[in-house]
Structure 1
């Protein structure tokens, strides 16, 4: 897994690769985080689009509730 943090844009890029399979996530924190919502975008993923959306929604919910 490779994680890159871009503090100026408040983004974290995570890339997880095994052999030919690869998953990319971009997590963007709101300027008023933890009050503002976390935005999660899924790039290439091992599963289909439904799987990608599911991972994005689950990660968004998880990160949103970490500060509560």
Structure 2
């Protein structure tokens, strides 16, 4: 593995040679997710360890599936770690592609649980964070859509 650093506004990759680690960070708004690939000292004779920290609005099940496919890709493709990281980044790009911000908090990722807006109004089709809708319903004492005012 070459010691280099790649970075742009949403994605960065750094290499820690002393710890045999490659850390890829995907950032969205104020938060991010780290992919840590640990290479054993006898790599490629032993398999790499892959771990994700923080959720960034992706379900744990989906994140585990991505990690499993990434691990098997590295094992079966002659240790193509760079290609595996690019695939991981493409998964995130596709996940966030076309996601509109929540009209209540004006954010794509919720500030506390880092979830994506998933609850849609049946009339206006806008999507909201569950926590934002709960707060809206409890403070307004109504269970209507914040935008079109139809019952939710």
Q: Same fold (TM over 0.5)?
A: yes
Higher relative contact order (CA 8 A, sep 6+): 1
In structure 2, what is the Cα distance between the partners aligned to 1:55 and 1:22? 16
Identify which of 12, 17, 21 aligns with 2:27: 17
Computing the radius of gyration from Cα coordinates, the structure with the larger value is 2
Relative to structure 2, which stretch is displaced further, 20-29 or 31-40? Answer: 20-29
CA RMSD of aligned residues (A): 1.7
> What TM-score does the superposition give when structure 1 sets the normalisation length?
0.85
Kindly state the Cα deviation for residue 17 of structure 1 after the two structures are TM-superposed: 1.4
TM-score, with structure 2 as normaliser: 0.41
What is the CA-CA distance between 1:13 and the residue it aligns to? Answer: 0.6
Counterpart Cα distance in 2 of 1:62 and 1:22? 23
Structure 1: 5+ residue stretches without partners? none
Q: Which has the higher helix share?
A: 2
Structure in which a larger fraction of residues adopt strand: 1
Deviates more, 1:35-44 or 1:20-29: 20-29
**TM superposition shift of 1:11:** 0.3
Extract structure 1 runs of 4+ deviating beyond 2 A. 18-23
Name stretches of at least 5 consecutive residues in structure 2 with no aligned partner. 1-10, 80-152
2:72 aligns with 61
